[in-house]
Structures are given as structure tokens and as C-alpha cells.
Amino acid sequence: MHTLRESPLEQRARLGKTPQGKALLELLAKYPTKRALAKAIGSSDEYVTRCSRMGKISMAGAILINQLGVMKKEQLRPDVDDWSVGQPGLPIGTKAARSGAHQALLRDLAISFGSVKSFCRAAGFSIRNYHDWLSRDKISNQGLTKILCISELSDSLRYRVEMESIDRRQVDPVDDGA
């Protein structure tokens, strides 16, 4: 990630060196400002700025932009071969529900495995991920997928995790005001 402040000219030169960066520049050129692009795709200004700094659009962003008919996802992310892989986090434009449901689920999973450490080891993610999700009350899509892959998962916990996965897939990332 580029951390020093760079001029727009330097940013364009840096982005023009990769296929993802060139596609991002093409996308940015379709809108008068980054804020206009953010509004058009239903995201925050910070998301568009972060993409510019990183030099590419996220997979979730590419899928959303493709769905809106602005640009093809394959053009935005030529490095991605498998678009069927679950996306991390919430879809762009959705607000996280802070109901405490994921916190309760994480707590019950840790109790079921005897400790946070044992649960994280079985699922294949770090304790830091666990605590991040706990504090945000949001388990990422990849996290939910990893939890579902645990063979020792009880039927009741598996059902709860599956319900969270289904709920997440049913969220419409763009609110058209209807």
C-alpha cells in the first residue's frame, strides 16, 4: 500500500503500471470526482480512496460495478479467475446489523470448543480475527465458510452458522429507494 502523500499525477502514473490500476483509472475517468463514483455505486468516499491507494477495486466492488452495468468485473480484476469464492465482509453499501447475534454465536462456538484458542485452531483463523469479529458483531463471509468446514461442529451450531450465511447472501447491496 502506498503510504506517502502523492500528487494526482503520481497516482495516475502508479496506477497505470498494472492492469487493475489501468481499469481503475478508466472507471474513475467515467465520473467527475471520486465522490461521484462512490455515490453511483452506493459506497463511501473512503472506499474509493482506499481502492485508489491499493491500486485495485475489491472483488466485491468489481461484482457490484458489473451488476450496475458500469464496467465488466473481468476488466476491473483480470487477476481473478474464480468469481464464485465468497467475499469477505458485508457487500458494499450495506450497513452492519449490530444485534449481538454474531457475538452470541462466537461466544457459543468458543464454549462448544472449550476455549477461543481451540475454536480458532479448529476453524483455521487467528484469535485476532475472532476478537475483531466479536467487537464488530460481524463474522466475515470467509469466516462463516471456514466455520462451516469444521467437522466437529454440532448440528445446532452448524444450523445457526448456515442461517447467518443465508441471511448475508440475501442482503441487497444497493438500496434503490424502493
Task: Note the pLDDT tens digit of each residue in 90-146.
Answer: 566 666 556 688 888 999 999 988 999 999 999 998 999 998 888 888 888 888 889
53 CB burial (10 A radius; 0-12, 13-18, 19+): middle
pLDDT of residue 1: 52
pLDDT at 145: 87
> Could you tell me which residue, 34 or 89, shows the higher pLDDT?
34
What letter would DSSP give residue 44? -
Distance CA 176, CA 178 (A): 6
- Residues spanned by the domain of 125: 101-169
Q: Which residues contact 136 (CB under 8 A, 6 or more apart)?
A: 96
Q: What is the pLDDT of residue 42?
A: 82
pLDDT greater than 50 at residue 175: no
SS (H, E, C) 64-118: HHHHCCCCCHHHHCCCCCCCCCCCCCCCCCCCCCCCCHHHHHHHHHHHHHCCHHH
Write down the pLDDT at residue 172.
39
Q: What values do phi and psi take at 82, rounded to 5?
A: -115, 105
70 and 25 inside one domain: yes
Q: What is the pLDDT of residue 119?
A: 92
In a domain, 36, yes or no: yes
Residues 165 and 107 in one domain: yes
Confidence of residue 86 (pLDDT cuts 50, 70, 90): low
Q: Among 135, 151, 155, 132, which Cα is nearest to 143's?
A: 132
Same domain, 106 and 143: yes
Is residue 144 domain-shared with residue 110, that is, in the same domain?
yes
Global model pTM greater than 0.85: no
How much is the pLDDT for 138? 86
**Nearest alpha-carbon partner for 141 in 79, 75, 96, 104:** 96
Q: Does residue 57 belong to any structural domain of this protein?
A: yes
Residue 176's pLDDT band (boundaries 50, 70, 90)?
very low
Domain membership of residue 85 (yes or no) is no
Asked, for residue 131, whether it belongs to a domain, the answer is: yes
Average pLDDT, the chain: 82
Asked if 64 and 109 sit in the same domain, the reply is no
Predicted confidence band of residue 84 (pLDDT cuts 50, 70, 90): confident
